[in-house]
Chains A and B, each alone.
Chain A
Amino acid sequence: MNKRDFLKLAAAAPLAASPVRLYAAASSTSARLLLVFLRGGYDASNVLVPVGSSFYYESRPNIAVPRPGSAAKAALPLDGDWGLHPALGASLLPLYQQGQLAFVPFAGTRDLSRSHFQTQDTIELGQAHDGRRNYQSGFLNRLAATLAGQSRAISFTDRVPVAFRGELQVPNMALKQVRKPAVDPVQTAVIAEMYRDTPYARAIDEGISVRDGVMQNMAAEMEAASRNAITARGFELEARRIARLMRDRYNVGFVDVGGWDTHVGQGGAEGFLANRLEQLGSGIAAYAAEMGAQWNDTVVIVLSEFGRTFRENGSRGTDHGHGTVYWIAGGSVRGGRTAGEQIQLRQSTLHQNRDYPVLTEYRALCGGLFARVYGFGAPQLERVFPGTSPVDLGLV
């Protein structure tokens, strides 16, 4: 049985029949989950590069990432089929080699709208695809609610994303820029009192508590900055801040990163997308480092609403596609591999002769992952992803 067949079998096996490790159930309180949403539909085929496919190189005459060893900047070999974008060589390759990062190619949704917004909503809501949507119930909120008293959820964004909408009041605080509050404690108390009997009371209390917590947490960084120490920038800085909060105060987190909608001039081994990837990769690596010992209890999911067209378009970019590649990282992740069902890439295996097909539905994927991480049984999984049969890819 070759690797492909085994994975296919694993993918097809219903969860009940596969051995869920007890580690998961025991660690449900210490487990930490961070969802990184790449908004815009990142070009998965130029990140996890199908280096074994000549069809890929025919389809992308100007923007393909060269085969390993064929150019100064070329894909980094992962196995015979796949390579990694060289911009991720310093950040993600070590994680992959240490077995702490897995890729799930041909993952995604059943949503065929090719609309950023509809598909992002589809993912964040995590509801049955053909049912009527309830826009007030995101899957991360349902996850946090299912963890009941054990969850401390937060969104590191300036607005609460759809994924966190729902019965649980989830706080948010963007960490790109953090400032010291000017509203003093007396004023804070008076303002909070104005809201006591309003529907916003919980939001206000949460906001104040998060603000104060973040300020405590930032004290060390601010001190370093005031001593003119070299500090991280951009997403790496943000990721380090997120890591410190996830380490000390929260266990379900969300952050989004934009700028992936590369219709024009996206570049290949170098260029626009390469620069975005370098920043993203260094952020993920910094997150792993900053988590310290807690990295072993951490799972990071990196996803995007859809992949892009397999062929480059007329402007050396790519258009909205379908299937994509999910990344799963963490100290206990069984990584160093690609997981889930795969196919040979040929014109006939493309979805609608233009995109990656979706062979691993994301709710089944995440459901299977949550079952392992949190020891969920069928009732809990049904609550998070109603109507879905989880697929266990043995990712932790």
Chain B
Amino acid sequence: MRTLATVLVLVLAGCQLPVVSPRVDSPRAETPEARLHLLNRVTWGANGSSARRIEAVGTRAFLDEQLRPAPKPPLPPAVQAQIDALTISQKPFTDLVREVEQQRRDAVAIKDPEERKAAQKAYQQELTRLGREAATRSILRALYSPAQLQEKMTWFWMNHFNVFQFKSYVRATVGDYEENAIRPHALGRFRALLGATARHPAMLRYLDNVQNAANRVNENYARELMELHTLGVSGGYTQRDVQELARILTGVGVNLIGEPRKIAAARERLYVRDGVFEFIPGRHDFGDKVFLGRTIKGAGLRETEQALDMLARHPATARHVSRKLAVYFVADDPLSALVERMAATFRSSDGDIAAVLRTMFGSPEFAASAGRKFKDPVHYVMSAVRLAYDERAILNAQPVIGWLNRMGQGLYTRQTPDGFSLTRDDWVSPGQMTTRFEIARAIGSGSAGLFRTAGPEPLEAPAFPQLSNALYFQAIQKTLGPATLKALDQARSPQEWNTYLLSSPEFMNR
């Protein structure tokens, strides 16, 4: 039924484009249900405060402020305080990486095998702690930042430029990667975003470019840079292009400990160090390359910038990225007409991500797709917690981390560089659904550990999920079908009512 309806609506929208052209700022979008749908797409899930905001300023202004957020959008003070207390917030990234690397070296140097083992374990535990801090900060921002679209786009790009935290020391780097390479550019220029990922130790380590040197070429990053990050697998490049790009990328790496390098005098001016990032001329292949049909003269790091320019501005990249955005925000198989319009904006705006999103949000395809995207686990958990607690700050993100892991979509846990799937078929499986009901029950039945602080002497604040709230009666209730309303009537307790609402088919969609 539902699938058929989706198809019909999309087909109608496609055929009658000139006649039916609902826009997000039309009066039709100003009903509470329409605003609810929009919030569920643009934010990590509608809650009372976001509903009040969109009602107060109107959908057009709301979208404007989401597309162009303030540089440091204010968080609730209790949330900001938790973020400020994290090591990754307090310590400059370069220092943090240096200390952790020193800890590793010290551990390796220990002679006694037992002591060495213990020191290496402590090193691993520190890495894991830092990775958990990054996840905690990410979750707090997702739940409470007023710049919700920026947060969603941060997740989107973290997934697009995926790294796996459990590879080597990547756990120590994911926090900075997300905070300083991805988030500032999440709604900015694609070229800047691409450049930031290409210089970040998280990416350079994860895809092994730190190992890529002249005559000892490692193709891993070069390949994924084209296949996944820019052109797409059918973007028209060859194995030869992969090899040439890998040569261009030789010498692009990191210097964890900040030790000085011996650089041949002739190439000294080509040496680059910027924080942990380092370009080492001695490891670079200075021969000329032929990349995507163009000759790139051997010139050091400038070659990488040239290659990234070419990739970021390639029409295949505009299409590849636009389609992925449409899959994330509109439909699992978006109409190519929409993708082409978005790609046109991408090209004419020189990869302005917010402009591409604006084209998408204003499209009839977007309007027609309301409530028809299946939530992936991250959407599911974030939307449930946001609806249940609104602006009240959780005290412990660990339960959220655990639920996401349990559903197979933990933060920074995607092992392969393709990132998590964005489509329903990969998430609607039988095992996934029964797990969701378990998590619905956990979130719906009480504070679920979200309000118990971590540490040796945990403090627990009383809390109960407030799901039958004003937003429910104003908007959510009207979107529920008879079967769900009947189930809610059968609830024997508020806990059960919550469990049923969060388990309902309507709550699985956005």
Q: Which residues of A contact B (CB under 8 A)?
A: 39-40, 112-118, 136, 155, 157-160, 165, 169, 171-174, 177, 179, 181-183, 187-188, 190-191, 193-200, 203-204, 206-208, 210-211, 258-259, 261, 263-264, 313-315, 317, 319-320, 352
Contacts and interface: CB of A to CB of B under 8 A. Distances in A.
B1 interface: yes
Contacts of B215: 314
A182 B441 contact: yes
Contact of B218 (A113, A183, A191, A313): A313
Closest 9 CB pairs of A and B: A314-B216, A207-B430, A158-B408, A315-B211, A207-B434, A171-B430, A206-B430, A172-B431, A160-B429
Contacts of B407: 158
Contacts, number: 162
A114 B223 contact: yes
A172 B430 contact: yes
Contact of A115 (B2, B227, B487, B504): B227
A313 B438 contact: no
Given A40-B416, A263-B211, A199 B2 contact: yes
A61 B1 CA distance: 61
A116 B218 contact: no
Contacts of B242: 114
Contact of B2 (A159, A196, A198): A198
B218 A263 contact: yes
B408 A117 contact: no
A194 B416 contact: no
Nearest to B485: A194
B497 to A, nearest CB: 11
B442 interface: yes
B498 to A, nearest CB: 11
Contacts of B500: 187, 190-191, 194
13 contacts: A114-B223, A116-B418, A159-B421, A160-B426, A187-B437, A199-B1, A200-B505, A258-B415, A259-B415, A261-B416, A263-B211, A315-B216, A319-B219
Contacts of B416: 39-40, 116-117, 258, 261
B415 A204 contact: no
A198 to B, nearest CB: 5
Interface string B1-20: 11100000000000000000
A203 B430 contact: yes
A337 B257 CA distance: 51
Interface in B175-234: 208, 211-213, 215-220, 223, 227-228, 233
B432 A159 contact: yes
Describe B's contact surface by its main secondary structure.
helix
A243 to B, nearest CB: 18
A114 B2 CA distance: 38
B428 interface: yes
Contact of A182 (B211, B417, B438): B438
A113 B431 contact: no
Contact of A183 (B421, B426, B441): B441
A107 to B, nearest CB: 21
Interface string B317-333: 00000000000000000
Interface in B391-431: 406-408, 415-418, 421, 425-431
B138 interface: no
A60 to B, nearest CB: 14
Nearest to B213: A314
B438 A203 contact: no
Contact of B211 (A116, A188, A314): A314
B30 interface: no
A173 B431 contact: yes
B484 interface: yes
Contacts of A197: 1, 483
Interface string B229-250: 0000100000100100000000
Interface string B477-501: 0000001101100100000100110
A181 B211 contact: no
Given A116-B418, A194-B500, A263-B211, 6 more contacts: A172-B432, A182-B441, A190-B500, A313-B218, A315-B208, A315-B218
B504 A194 contact: yes
Nearest to B427: A159
A350 B415 CA distance: 30
Contacts of A317: 208, 211, 218
Interface in B42-68: none
A310 B15 CA distance: 53
B503 interface: yes
Nearest to B506: A194
Contacts of B487: 190-191, 193-194
B403 to A, nearest CB: 12
Contacts of B490: 190
A115 B434 CA distance: 33
A392 to B, nearest CB: 33
A159 B429 contact: yes
A136 B496 contact: no
Nearest to B205: A264
B433 interface: yes
Contacts of A193: 483, 486-487
A181 B438 contact: yes
A314 B217 contact: yes
Interface in B442-498: 442, 483-484, 486-487, 490, 496
Nearest to B211: A315
B428 A200 contact: yes
A317 B220 CA distance: 11
Given A165-B425, A183-B441, A314 B218 contact: yes
A112 B238 CA distance: 10
Nearest to B430: A207
A203 B211 contact: no
Contact of B431 (A171, A190, A198, A320): A171
A114 B237 CA distance: 12
A374 B437 CA distance: 38
A190 B437 CA distance: 11
A313 B217 CA distance: 7
A315 B429 CA distance: 39
A114 B500 CA distance: 46
Contact of B239 (A114, A160, A182): A114
Contacts of B425: 136, 160, 165
Contacts of B429: 155, 158-160, 171-172, 203, 207
A188 B437 CA distance: 9
A21 B2 CA distance: 47
A198 B1 contact: yes
Interface centre among A39, A115, A136 (most CB of B within 10 A): A115
Nearest to A319: B219
A203 B428 contact: yes
A194 B211 contact: no
A204 B433 contact: yes
B3 A199 contact: yes
A106 B242 CA distance: 24
B442 A194 contact: no
